[in-house]
Amino acid sequence: MGNKKHDGIEQPSSNAKQEQLNTFRVQNDGKPLTTNQGLRVDDDEHSLKAGTRGPTIMEDFHFREKMTHFDHERIPERVVHARGFGAHGVFELYESLSEFTKAKFLTDTSKQTPIFIRFSTVAGSRGSSDTVRDVRGFAVKFYTEEGNYDLVGNNMPVFFIQDAIKFPDFVHAVKPEPPNEIPQASSAHDTFWDFVGTNTESAHMIMWVMSGRALPRSFRMMEGFGVHTFRFINEEGKSHFVKFHWKPKLGIHSLVWDETQKVAGKDPDFNRRDLWDAINEGNFPEFELGVQILKEEDEFSFSFDILDSTKLWPEEVVPVRIIGKMTLNRNTDNFFAETEQVAFHSGHVVPGIDFTNDPLLQGRLFSYTDTQLLRLGGPNFAEIPINRPITPVHNNQRDGMHRMTINPGQVSYHNNGLANNTPSTPPQSDGEYRHHEEKIEGRKIKARSHSFDDHFSQAAMFWHSMSTIEKGQIVDAFRFELGKVLSKEVRQRVVDVFSQVAEELAEQVAVEIGATATKGVAVEPTFISPALSMMNTVKSAATRKVAVLVSNGFSATEINGLLQALTQAKVKAEIVSKTQAPIAGDDGTMLEPKQSLLTAASVLYDAVYIAGGQQSVTELLSDVKSSEFVREAFLHYKTIAAVGEGKELLTAAKVALDNSANNNGALSGILLRTESQSDDTFANSFIESIAQHRHWDRTFHP
């Protein structure tokens, strides 16, 4: 596996993990069928019977082995984050952080560290939809030369609770309700909002969950956060506080609520498929790793406690230093073996990374191993291929369910004399993990520091940092969620809580759900953080998906030119027609539609292009689904381009065309090609418009 020499020690290569996994791959192509004992099987269609119409015989070991294995195929799903999707990749470091940490993967810029990532939703079961309103898990396993390091984060920088002992309560509240297991993968029900109303520490996180951050357009377009404050420890043993960030190169973009609900029906695997396709097509998702670093001396220089996971460090106050990049470049071979069996743990650290006393983090350090014991059936889950480190493992642990390692030798204890006291611990520092010697003093007490008492300032900071559009979306989210709550007391209690965050928010929500907001109790925002608004993010058309609505009689020059321009800009086009039967262009060119109006829906695309040509448009118009397609794209703020007669489809779809706007007489994001515009110019303005992601300034909220 290893070949490069470094400090005289054999180094694993950047492909080390893939090479290791390859040794476990079993390729069936062209091979004879066998039982698990390696016995070749004569027939896999019929069980062994006493006569062709007789009973099945116990002796049929092949039938019994096959059926028994099948009966045991399921393992318990994760209690939270059950629905997830994984991919392989690599992490590269831009600059050495040796000033702060001795972690080798963060100090040697020549290194490429293999990683495995698993994105997830939190509340839903394994088979639930991707596009629900929820936090997204963002868990990365780094296979470093010093052992596995897991950065088990989320796509939001704060959490619902301050102390791990409340996690089971929070999760019970958000999960489907016990009497009937309803609703699936949704926080819009009484127990969740009852928890929010009675546990005000969740206020800040709720603001994030009610925002577009909870509806990501793509896993490739979300930020990731380590959430807790961790420690970096350098060679001298000096500690700094650190928070981890992942920044997506494509920017942060969300779907709109109405869209997510429809996508959940049309394609429940929307986010999975998006990641899978992007990697297969060579559009490798990239995320930059950033760190916010604080000196130990600055621990108490904030208005909040840095050990409180319901607080973030505004990026404008503590800048995020970008230090490296993760590229996701390989899909899994087998979902179960890799994504389902991967076992993360915030306690999997390497020298140079240590913990703080954040009471949420402290509890996680217990929970993750415990949960794997149940889920993966015993203490040997670290031997499962996806969980194995690329470094050798030597210790005196033995036996247990499904042990793979064969440990020869008489000795399995420490200290020993019979094996020269090996495996050994070094007498002095030699690359081993040493816990940071933090001085601790205090009384044993079941309580929380008063520095954790402020539950509203940062919730207010979030609200006041939002654009008008985002505020509108947050209000709508509260209205929907609370509108689904049956208990009037719960609704009122939540409004009482958010009256303390922002008066206008509470009022706008209250008026819609029959509750009353309290005036004059909201906290003053202490800070505005532009980095929190998604409006200020990177904008790019690359890897966006466009539906090209076209039928027989289209202009071949127009469509060829368009497809070429889109490919060049890395925009993915799909031909959608009335049916999937081939269609003919004006010069006889044939196109094979990838989708029909029956199989596709505009919610699965970022933009729509309506080709010109009377015959094409008339054929499309003959199916009412075409105007529904365009109407929906319009209501979801998407770019719609129409050429020539294509405008008829806009009219049929009742798409407002505001002649007072500058954009060639159309509303923002609605592009009509004029006679004088060339195919090229028009295609380019279409691409520019797609890069805007959505045209929020259209004046309605679907």
CB 347 → ligand HDE: shortest distance, Å? 10
Binding of ligand HDE at residue 502 (CB under 6 A)? Answer: no
- Regarding 462 and contact with ligand HDE (CB under 6 A), the answer is no
CA 679 – CA 671 distance, rounded (Å): 13
344 is a site residue for ligand HDE (CB under 6 A)? yes
In this structure, which long-range contacts are made by residues 388-393, counting pairs with CB atoms below 8 Å and at least 24 apart in sequence?
Answer: 388/20, 389/143, 389/147, 389/148, 390/1, 390/12, 390/16, 390/17, 390/20, 390/114, 390/143, 390/145, 391/12, 391/144, 391/145, 391/146, 391/147
Residue 665 zone, left/alpha/beta (φ > 0; ψ -120 to 50; rest): left
Q: What is the largest CA-CA distance in the chain?
A: 91
228/305 Cα distance (integer angstroms): 12
> What end-to-end distance do the CA atoms of the chain give, in Å?
55
**d(C-alpha 309, C-alpha 518), whole Å:** 28
Least Cα distance to 269 among 133, 126, 116 occurs for 126
Structure tokens of 78?
């994760």
Omega prior to 659 cis, within 30 of 0: no
657 counts as binding ligand HDE under rule CB under 6 A: no
Phi, psi of 367 (to 5 degrees): -65, -35
From candidates 11, 17, 20, 78, binder to ligand HDE by CB under 6 A:
78
Is-catalytic flag, 154? yes
Count of residues in contact with ligand HDE, rule CB under 6 A:
25
164: DSSP letter: G
User: What track of x and - describes contact with ligand HDE for positions 168 through 207 (by CB under 6 A)?
Assistant: ----------------------------------------
Q: For strand 230-233 and strand 224-225, is the pairing parallel, antiparallel, or unpaired? A: unpaired
Hey, what are 494's tokens? 């939540």
Residue closer to ligand HDE, measured from CB, 79 or 556: 79
The smaller minimum CB distance to ligand HDE, of residues 80 and 666, is found at 80
Counting contacts by CB under 6 A, is residue 152 touching ligand HDE? yes
Q: Does 363 sit near ligand HDE (CB under 6 A)?
A: yes
Answer yes or no: 357 catalytic.
no
Of 16, 80, 205, 459, which one interacts with ligand HDE (CB under 6 A)?
80
Task: Candidates 363-371, 381-389, 430-438, 527-535: pick the segment binding ligand HDE (CB under 6 A).
Answer: 363-371
Please report, to the nearest 10 degrees, the dihedral formed by the alpha carbons of residues 656, 475, 136, 456 taken in order: 150
Say how far apart CA 269 and CA 127 lie, in whole Å.
Answer: 9
Residue found by looking up tokens 């939001």 in the block: 156
SS3 labels along 62-106: HHHHHHHHHHCCCCCCCCCCCCEEEEEEEEEECCCCCCCCCCHHH
Q: What is the closest distance, in whole angstroms, from the C-beta atom of residue 252 to ligand HDE in the complex?
A: 17
- Is 189 buried (19+), middle (13-18) or exposed (0-12) by CB count in 10 A? buried
The distance of closest approach from Cβ of residue 177 to ligand HDE in the complex, given in angstroms and rounded to an integer, is: 20
**Nearest CB to ligand HDE, comparing residues 81 and 102:** 81
Span interacting with ligand HDE, options 77-85, 124-132, 441-449, 678-686, rule CB under 6 A: 77-85
Residue 167 contacts ligand HDE per CB under 6 A: yes
Q: At what angle do helices 468-483 and 488-499 cross, to 10 degrees?
A: 150
Show the binding pattern over residues 209-238: x = contacts ligand HDE (CB under 6 A), - = does not.
Answer: ------------------x-----------
Q: Which is nearer to ligand HDE, 157 or 525 (CB)?
A: 157
Separation of alpha carbons 41 and 35, rounded Å? 7
324 binds ligand HDE per the rule CB under 6 A: no
Pick the binder of ligand HDE from 63, 335, 368, 527 (CB under 6 A).
368
Tell me, residue by residue from 276 to 315, as one string, x for binding to ligand HDE by CB under 6 A and - for no binding: ---------------------------------x------
Of 84, 124, 290, 389, the residue at the interface with ligand HDE (CB under 6 A) is 84
At closest approach, how far in Å is the CB of 425 from ligand HDE?
A: 29
Using H for helix, E for strand and C for coil, what is the string for 375-434?
HCCCCCHHHCHHHCCCCCCCCCCCCCCCCCCCCCCCCCCCCCCCCCCCCCCCCCCCCCCC
Our CB check for ligand HDE shows the closer of 139 and 559 to be: 139
Site for ligand HDE in 106-125 (CB under 6 A): 118, 120
From the list 62, 88, 148, 154, the catalytic residue is 154
Q: Does 364 bind ligand HDE (CB under 6 A)?
A: yes
Task: Pick the piece of the chain touching ligand HDE (CB under 6 A) from 151-159, 242-250, 431-439, 681-689.
Answer: 151-159
**Per CB under 6 A, which region of 1-9, 13-21, 75-83, 498-506 contacts ligand HDE?**
75-83
State the nearest-atom distance from the C-beta of 562 to ligand HDE, in Å. Answer: 40
The CB-of-348 to ligand HDE minimum distance in angstroms stands at: 11
Residue nearest to ligand HDE (CB): 137
Residue type at position 552: N
> What gap in Å lies between CA 131 and CA 571, rounded to an integer?
22
Catalytic residue set: 81, 154
Please report, as ranges, the residues that interact with ligand HDE according to CB under 6 A: 78-81, 84, 118, 120, 137, 139, 152-154, 159, 164, 167, 227, 309, 342, 344, 360, 363-364, 367-368, 371
